[in-house]
Structure 1
Amino acid sequence: MTTTTNPRLTPEEVEHYKTEGYVIPKGKVFADDKFEALSDYFDEKLAAWPKDERPEQMDTPHFADPKLLDWALAPEVVDLVEPLLGPDIILFSTHFICKPQGDGRRVPWHEDSAYWRRMLDPMEVATVWLAIDPSTKKNGCMYVIPRTHNTGKMGFSDYEGVDVTKSVFDTEIVKSQRKDELAVPCELQRNQCSLHDARTQHGSPPNTSDMRRCGWTLRFIPASSKLNEDYHDRHLMYMARGKNLLNQPMADPTKSYAHINELRRQLGVKAH
């Protein structure tokens, strides 16, 4: 786990991320063969997914399936976040958000930080949103509202309930604290990615098209961020690069922790 000398973001892209709260880097994340292996592997996981559970809710799949860490901890991914987080990096979480064609549910406007406010201190998370499928305006791509990561709310807006039969989550940022007219679509081709700060407001419309839309979110934190000890029994973290600065417990990347996902289901932990 060495520090990269060839970060994959340009200085201009790093500045855009810091100023706007997101960035869409140029180029592909993986070599074509490595990406196709991931895409095929996801299709196998989707085929085995319980038919009575929504495919948008494939949260923390890597806990039970260490094979996914071949991609999540790959240098091609970690090199993207090192310019943003520094050389000591932890994989915090992953989540497949797969919107099926025709009836893919909308993702309400939210900040990732709102779901983790009791878990992490400080709240510094960079998400790599990797497109497994093309993600376009037609099939419900993610939209971000720029510069919302450094407003007075700092990632902790007020929320209200929404129709859970039509949405991935059951709450949404109140409209008075959003500026929807400023939203920017993050359109991506397969094997491209966007990056966003955990405090940036974002969401996506439903997928009513004839094309599936799947993205894999890979969330990283600097090793200087601390996981609340109350969550050690239900949340795992993996060393991605550098030093474990706070000597926090790290999961074994060769081991399956299927029991953790089962515990999360029993506790009603919401997917994110």
Structure 2
Amino acid sequence: MVSDVAQKFADDGFAVVGEVISPDELEVYRDIYDRLLSGEIESGDKRSDLGSHVPRKEGVVENITQIMWPSALHPPLRDLPLHAKALSVARELIGADAELDFDMMIHKAPHTGVATPWHQDAAYWVDMPDRRAVSIWVALDDTDLDNGCMWYVRGSHQQPLRPHRPTSDGKNIECDCSEDESGATPVPMRAGGAAAHSGTTLHYSRGNTTNGLRRAYILNYRPAAMIKLERERGADHGLNENVRQVRNSDAAKD
């Protein structure tokens, strides 16, 4: 029997999963997240400005901080409850062969106000014969319209992939869409909650115009055979020797 969440994911291309981090666990995740943001846990070349298509504001380190592979940079993350819970959700939504492909942090600091452009994740990826994929977007802070909750376009996963173009800095991509598009849906959530979306679901988020933080942790899953094929084609989402060097350096300090 298909669960309500799985049915909504299949029909809409996204679904609210519910709580995946308990209130007691939140501070543990926030502490690791903040140590990565502050540089206490080194991230090397895995850190970038996802909002570099917009001029950087005075006093802001990045418009939108993105750190790829936090679980490789700080392996204890994998032993905390979220990875097991997210894997269970992913297997419910796309199949029992789902495995973690990569993870990332996306942080919007107070008053940065930079939107993440509309896009479909699959437009970044190499072509796969099996396109099943799910991203589980986890809120470490309460999210709403003003600090950058996620927006999804209902049913967009059932349409052809839209043409994408590079953002003005040439580092990321975007496509034509807006909050006025039919099916565009904001998804505010409480800290510890998560939403899941497919690789072809249109999504975006506004900038953070509030005094508070908007910390998000995203875990991405696809079939194990497709991960193997990706790696054979050289697509590892930034997991390379530099990550291992940073990880080993971090371990040596401990």
Classify the TM-score, shorter chain.
0.7 to 0.9
| Other-structure match for 1:198 | 199
Encode CA deviations 1:202-242: one digit per residue, 9 max, x unaligned: 01111122122111110011224232513167755xxxxxx
Q: 1:216 & 1:104 partners in 2: Cα distance?
A: 19
Is contact 2:87–2:99 with CA below 8 Å preserved after alignment? no
> 1:74: Cα distance to partner?
3.1
| Other-structure match for 1:122 | 130
Is the deviation greater in 67-76 or in 136-145?
A: 67-76
Encode CA deviations 1:3-62: one digit per residue, 9 max, x unaligned: xxxxxx971211110010000023x21333223211121112112178855552212222
| Other-structure match for 2:164 | 159
| Other-structure match for 1:259 | 242
Encode CA deviations 1:85-141: one digit per residue, 9 max, x unaligned: 2222210011111001101421100000011134x4422211110001111111111
Q: 1:63 & 1:144 partners in 2: Cα distance?
A: 29
Is contact 1:93–1:220 with CA below 8 Å preserved after alignment? yes
| Other-structure match for 1:173 | 175
- Secondary structure at the aligned position of 2:24 is classed as helix
| Other-structure match for 1:148 | 156
In structure 1, runs of 5+ residues without a counterpart are 1-8, 237-256, 264-272
**TM-score, length-scaled by structure 2:** 0.77
1:188 and 2:180 equivalent?
A: no
Q: 2:196 & 2:66 partners in 1: Cα distance?
A: 20
| Other-structure match for 1:139 | 147
Q: 1:79 & 1:208 partners in 2: Cα distance?
A: 34
* Alignment partner of 1:22 out of 7, 14, 22: 14
> 1:198: Cα distance to partner?
0.8
1:98 and 2:107 equivalent?
A: yes
In structure 2, runs of 5+ residues without a counterpart are 48-59, 247-254
| Other-structure match for 2:251 | none
Is contact 2:147–2:208 with CA below 8 Å preserved after alignment? yes
Q: 2:206 & 2:155 partners in 1: Cα distance?
A: 20
Q: 1:88 & 1:106 partners in 2: Cα distance?
A: 34
Q: 1:234 & 1:58 partners in 2: Cα distance?
A: 11
Q: 1:136 & 1:57 partners in 2: Cα distance?
A: 20
Q: 1:233 & 1:99 partners in 2: Cα distance?
A: 25
Opposite residue 205 of structure 1, the aligned amino acid is R
Cα 1:221–1:73 change in 2 (3 A) is farther
| Other-structure match for 2:250 | none
Encode CA deviations 1:166-220: one digit per residue, 9 max, x unaligned: xxx64311349x9624310111110000000010000111112212211111001
Q: 1:33 & 1:113 partners in 2: Cα distance?
A: 34
Opposite residue 159 of structure 1, the aligned amino acid is H
- Secondary structure at the aligned position of 1:227 is classed as helix
Q: 2:94 & 2:233 partners in 1: Cα distance?
A: 24
Cα 1:262–1:104 change in 2 (3 A) is farther
Q: 1:262 & 1:19 partners in 2: Cα distance?
A: 43
Q: 2:197 & 2:233 partners in 1: Cα distance?
A: 27
Cα 1:161–1:88 change in 2 (3 A) is closer
Is contact 2:140–2:192 with CA below 8 Å preserved after alignment? yes
Cα 1:202–1:62 change in 2 (3 A) is same
| Other-structure match for 2:23 | 32
- Secondary structure at the aligned position of 2:65 is classed as helix
- Secondary structure at the aligned position of 2:221 is classed as strand
